[in-house]
Structure 1
Amino acid sequence: MASDDQPVPVFPKPVTLRDVAAQAGVSVATASKALNDQGRMTAETRERIRETARNLGFRPNSLAQSLLRRRSFTVGLLTNDTYGRFSLPLMSGISDALVDAGVSVFLCNVEEDPRLGQLHVEAMLDKRVDGIIATGKRIDRHLPIDLANLRIPVIYAFTQPDPDAVAFVSDDAGGARLAVDHFCRLGRKRIAHVSGPASFAVVHERAQAYRAALIENGLPLIEPLLGAWSEAWGHEAVTILFDGGGEKPDAVFCGNDQIARGVIDALRERGLSVPGDVGVIGFDNWEIVAEATRPPLTSVDMNLTALGREAGLTLLSLVGGKPAAPGIRKLPCRLVVRQSCGRLPDG
């Protein structure tokens, strides 16, 4: 049990600009000018003051600097992606874009609660954030808050934007083409597509690109199967594909990595090898799923970190007074090739 007469910890007082000036033998005004790269003085004097500040451990008053420059050097990131599946890679890219400019990012989860979202926005405005980036768990739904007319820059990334806003999304159609074209190069002739719910815009965008790619390559069209974003649906879809009449697929392009994992498990239960009998490609490149699948899963990566970086750089430009044309920018996906789709004919 703790004693009542234990010593109270004493923390040293922060070093002030006045301390730096006294130690360097200059006025407070001269010390301030030297540390802010202003005023006229010899290079030796400026460096001596800076060296003194470093040795004393002096840290400038960020609040005072913010008031002086009319910037807080902070950016708010709003999301309803509770699990962080999409928002965390985006935040990584955003932070990478902003760190060299001395800007920090803080994340707020608004869930699906308009009241909570409004509280977070008001808190951000009270803290004088330089701008806000809004992101979510799907690109065809708006966050449950109104971000129009905030008088600070707002960027949308991987969520439905307001009209006349700047937004960044992944090119889902392009990602689907990457998968189908890769199967074609591998010599696959009957490519099926198993995807998520029809209520998602990306499902239709990918399905349309899948159909177009099959037609362009002269391959038979197998109507896409739509269901849930789950392993269970992938398992069920294999039953539909392989227990019906007609030729069986030799490749399956899946709408996400969970579906692909269910497809692979169901194929294995039927005694079919992956990729020997059937190649499988997923979507999202969720590494914790893709790399743990057996065999490891080839998957379309939406490049969310790069997308976040572009959103961060664009916000910096807006904060700096440079205009950006409104509209949605689609960034290309990339195919991460692992063992589940097979090798090219030449090995």
Structure 2
Amino acid sequence: MRSRSAPPTVRDVAARAGVSPGTVSKALNGTGQLRAATRDRVAAAAEELGFRPNHLAKSLLEGRTYTVGILTSDSFGRFTTPVMVGIEDALGAGRMSTLLCDGRGDPLRERHYVQELLNRRVDGLVVTGRRPDPRPSLGRLPIPVVYVLVQSDDPEDLSLTYDDVQGAALATEHLVASGRKRFAHVSGPERHWSTQRRREGVGRALEAADLPLAPELVLLGQWSEAWGRTAAAQLLRRDSGVDAVVCGSDQIARGVADGLREAGADVPGRVAVVGFDNWDVMVEAARPPLTTVDPNLTALGQHAATRLMDAIDGKELPRGVHRQPCDLVVRQSSV
């Protein structure tokens, strides 16, 4: 007789539901050709008994650990967090667990973590980070690897990121459609991939609208509110006719809006301002709240996790860089 303190087994569930242990296994794992009524009866019996599957036994039987490693270089978490939410959403549906490792952008530390994850026999690996700049590939590993937000420098890898050019063009087109004519662009350090790509998007949209972007109205500095305030003062000194500013980040956009307001330039009455990232704590607390480009990072994480699960199940991973379109979230700073 089973001890009262012992956890219920598959056989106990089978006896309660009036089916075989094999049927219990199929019902709880979502396999086999079973009637819905049978699955429901097994699920009800498992719930009544408080049955919990033995994941270790399942792992040994199937040769999988049902864990996925996540390697990030984003210690701050601003960009990794929404990506992680999307990954967890997708993996949770497949009853997968995650192991998060912060490589801090240090190649030696990354190699250590990769080896540790391999030692733990994770089924797959997601590599992410703070910016979509290209990064060195981890090379060929014995498990599927998906790069998300960041881009591997190896075209044989799968990298999923968002489209900076399309997003910046979307913001610019919005301001053109609202009747703005004299544009400025304020963004981050020139060496950053995002800075270069977003500037390209602004330029493309203005060229298509036959509007100029004067070189002296392209100001590059730091990803900060302080830089945005400084840039706003410079813009007004260089060209008092500026009526639209497309910013490379929400932090910069908030600083620009503050700097314009402090100088007596109404936002959006005199100058419209648009940011990039849809960082809620920045855009919603700004005065006025900021129109911004949303790179849909949670959806990006979901997509990456889905691709990785497909590869774990035996499907071939695509190759190259795949860019997800951005959306525009319109608030009071541009209308």
- Give the residue type in structure 2 aligned to 1:151: P
Partner of 1:280: 273
Q: Pairwise mapping of residues 46-195 of structure 1 onto structure 2 (< 5 A)?
A: 52-142=45-135, 147-163=138-154, 164-195=156-187
Among 214, 217, 221, the alignment partner of 1:227 is 221
Seen in structure 2, the aligned counterparts of structure 1 residues 32 and 243 have a Cα distance that, compared at 3 Å, is same
The CA distance in 2 between the partners of 1:140 and 1:101, in whole Å, is 30
Q: Deviation string for 1:311-345 (max 9, x for gaps)?
A: 11111111111113211000000000000011xxx
Tell me if 1:215 matches 2:207: yes
CA RMSD of aligned residues (A): 2.7
Q: Which runs of 5+ in 2 are unaligned?
A: none
Rounded Cα–Cα distance in structure 2 between residues aligned with 1:41 and 1:309: 30
Give the Cα separation in 2 of the matches to 1:159 and 1:171: 12
> Quick one: which of 24, 32, 47 aligns to 1:35?
24
**1:98 Cα deviation from its structure 2 partner:** 2.2
Distance 2:188 2:16 in 1: 67
Distance in 2 (CA, whole Å) between partners of 1:60 and 1:152 is: 25
Partner secondary structure for residue 60 of structure 1: coil
> Which has the higher mean CA deviation after the structures are superposed, 309-318 or 118-127?
118-127
Contact 1:139-1:159 at 8 Å conserved across structures: yes
Report the CA distance shift for 1:20/1:185 in structure 2 as closer, same or farther (over 3 A): closer
Q: How many pairs does the alignment contain?
A: 325
CA distance in 1, matches of 2:254, 2:209: 27
CA deviations 1:39-92 (Å, max 9, x no partner) are 999999998776544322121210110111122222111101112111111111
Task: Give distance in 2, aligned partners of 1:213 and 1:25.
Answer: 64
Taking a change above 3 Å as real, the CA distance of residues 234 and 64 of structure 1, as seen in their structure-2 partners, is same
CA distance in 1, matches of 2:204, 2:33: 67
Closer, same or farther: CA 70–267 of 1 in aligned 2, 3 Å? same
- The answer to whether the 8 A contact 2:65-2:121 is kept is yes
Contact 1:154–1:315 at 8 Å: present in 2 too?
yes
Give 2:328's aligned residue: 335
1:271 maps to: 264
Q: Say if 1:178 and 1:49 are closer, same or farther in 2 by CA, change over 3 A.
A: closer
Amino acid at match of 1:173: V
User: How does the TM-score come out when normalised to structure 1?
Assistant: 0.86
Following the alignment from structure 2 to structure 1, what is the Cα–Cα distance between the partners of residues 33 and 257?
Answer: 71
Equivalent residues of 1:24, 1:48 under 8 A apart: no
Distance 1:216 1:45 in 2: 61
Task: Please tell me the residue identity of whatever aligns with 1:33.
Answer: G
Structure 1 residue 35 displacement after superposition: 1.7
CA contact (8 A) 1:31 1:49 kept: no
Q: Which moved more, 1:218-227 or 1:259-268?
A: 218-227
Residue by residue, what CA displacement relative to the aligned partner does 1:8-63 show, whole Å, maximum 9, x if unpaired?
xxx95433446557x6599xxx8531321289999999987765443221212101
Structure 1 CA distance, aligned partners of 2:47 and 2:265? 66
Cα deviation, 1:88-113, whole Å, max 9, x if unaligned, reads 11111112222222222232212133
Distance 1:63 1:79 in 2: 27
Deviation at 1:140? 1.5
- Do the aligned partners of residues 15 and 181 (structure 1) sit closer, same or farther apart at CA in structure 2, a change above 3 Å counting? same
Q: Which amino acid aligns with 1:62?
A: H
Match of 1:36, SS state, is helix
Change in CA separation of 1:130 and 1:219 when aligned onto 2, cut-off 3 Å: same
Structure exhibiting the larger radius of gyration computed from Cα positions: 1
The CA deviation at 1:213 is: 1.5
Q: AA paired with 1:239?
A: A
**Is 1:17–1:31's contact at 8 Å kept on the other side of the alignment?**
no
Distance 1:42 1:247, change over 3 A: closer
**Contact 1:272–1:278 at 8 Å: present in 2 too?**
yes
1:118-177 alpha-carbon deviations (Å, 9 max, x no partner): 33222322222111010001122427xx63222100000011215100111110000011
Provide the TM-score with structure 2 as the length reference. 0.88
The whole-number CA distance in structure 1 between the counterparts of 2:169 and 2:33 is: 61
Q: Does the C-alpha gap of structure 1 residues 45 and 200 become closer, same or farther in structure 2, counting only changes over 3 Å?
A: closer
Alignment counterpart, residue 232 of structure 2, candidates 207, 216, 238: 238
The match for 1:3 is: none
Check the 8 A contact 1:155/1:167 in 2, yes or no.
yes
Tell me the alpha carbon deviations over residues 276-325 of structure 1, each in whole angstroms, 9 at most, x when there is no partner: 11100001110111000010000001111111111111111111111132
